[in-house]
Amino acid sequence: MAAAQSLLSAAVRQISRSAYGVVVNPVRGFQVFRIDGYSWSKNLAAGDRITSGGFAVGGRNWYIDYYPNGTDTAKDSDAISLYLRLAATYQEQRVRAEYKFSLLDAAGNAAYELPAATSIFTSAAVNHHRDGGEVADVGVGLAEFVTKEELERRRETLLRDDCLAIRCDVGVTELGVLAVAPKESHHNSKRHDDGDDSDWEGAESRERRRRQPLDDKEYIRRTLAKNRRA
């Protein structure tokens, strides 16, 4: 029995070719979350949070959650908790992000900070069958960012005028489309209107060569030679 011929080497009228590119870039941003009346915030129940307004980084919205008495609803914590949360979307998303929290002094300098960390963030899916419209989400962060005792000890620096200033830096990667496919001509050769091609022979020959479809090797070469940045 004869072996079947390979479809990849078969003669065809016209081969279908395409090229598609993406570019991956780092993006970063930050938000300063200012809380005036820090001392009063400690009256919130254990597990309650104060949430910042949303801020955009990498085409997604983020929130900072400040827990004055920790995230455990059973008892007050000796430390404040800080969490970064990915905004809810209609479809669940997972994003790897690097983040860092710091507390600022009155001049805007980082007076207290912990090392940056990297984690996978999952957005809560909007659910219209639940009260509030979305599933509760605690995000990712630090359950014991800094003790209340340390804050009070450094009140002149970290709590000037009873103001707590939190900075959160976020870094992610962002995908963009990169046009890499070479342009190809599909026009037919032109002829002189009066039927006399003698004066056009040289120009038409050059035009025909210019309009000739690229061979596969040249097509790929031009694809790879395209500017690699979006």
Q: In the CATH scheme, what is the code of domain 22-177? A: 2.60.210.10
Residue 189: predicted pLDDT: 41
Residue 226: predicted pLDDT: 75
Per-residue pLDDT of the chain (230 residues; tens, 9 = 90+): 667 788 888 787 777 888 999 999 999 999 999 999 999 999 999 999 999 999 999 999 999 999 999 999 999 999 999 999 999 888 888 999 999 999 999 999 999 999 999 999 998 877 654 454 445 567 999 999 999 999 999 999 999 999 999 999 999 999 888 888 888 765 444 444 455 555 545 555 555 555 667 888 888 888 888 776 54
* Residue ranges of the chain that CATH labels 2.60.210.10: 22-177
Instruction: For the chain, give the secondary structure using H, E and C.
Output: CCCCCCHHHCCCCCCCCCCCEEEEEEEEEEEEEEEECHHHHCCCCCCCCEECCCEEECCEEEEEEEECCCCCCCCCCCEEEEEEEECCECCCCEEEEEEEEEEECCCCCEEEECCCEEEEEECCEECCCCCCCECCCCCEEEEEEEEHHHHHHCHHHHCHHHEEEEEEEEEEEEEEEECCCCCCCCCCCCCCCCCCCHHHHHHHHHHHHHHCCCCHHHHHHHHHHCCCCC
Residue 166: predicted pLDDT: 99
Residue 192: predicted pLDDT: 45
